[in-house]
Amino acid sequence: MKSLISQSVWRTVALALTTALVSLGQGSEYEYLSWKSDLYNTGRIYDKPPQCVDIPDDLRLCHDVGYTQMLLPNLLEHESMAEVKQQAGSWVPLVHKNCHPGTQVFLCSLFAPVCLERPIYPCRWLCENVRDGCTPIMEAFGFPWPEMLTCDKFPQDDVCISAPNVTEASKPAGYSPVCPPCDNEMKMDAILEHMCASEFAIKTKIKEVKRENMDRKVILQKRKKALKLGTLKKKDLKKLVLYLKNGADCPCSQLDNLSNTYLIMGRKVDKQYLLTGIHKWDKSSKEFKKAMKKLKSHKCPVFENVFK
Are residues 221 and 254 in contact, defined by beta-carbon separation less than 8 angstroms? no
Do 278 and 156 lie in one domain? The reply is no
Per-residue model confidence (pLDDT) at position 24: 30
Look over the chain and give the mean of its residue pLDDT values, rounded to a whole number: 80
Per-residue model confidence (pLDDT) at position 166: 67
Total number of domains constituting the chain:
2
Does residue 170 form part of some domain? no
Local confidence band at 38 (pLDDT 50, 70, 90 cut-offs)? very low
Does residue 156 form part of some domain? yes
Does residue 173 form part of some domain? no
Non-local (6+) Cβ contacts of 260 within 8 A are 205, 254, 280, 281
pLDDT 10s digits, 237-281: 988 999 999 899 989 999 988 999 999 999 999 889 999 999 999
Do 148 and 90 lie in one domain? The reply is yes
Cα gap 1→159, rounded to integer Å = 10
Which CATH number does the domain housing residue 218 bear?
2.40.50.120
Q: What is the mean pLDDT of residues 173-190?
A: 75
- Whether the pLDDT of residue 137 is over 50: the answer is yes
Q: What is the mean pLDDT of residues 82-89?
A: 90
Does residue 194 form part of some domain? yes
Give the predicted TM-score (pTM) of the model: 0.76
Tell me which residue range forms the domain holding 206.
Answer: 181-305
Does residue 175 form part of some domain? no
Per-residue model confidence (pLDDT) at position 296: 76
Final residue of a structural domain among 161, 189, 218: 161
Does residue 55 form part of some domain? yes
Do 8 and 157 lie in one domain? The reply is yes
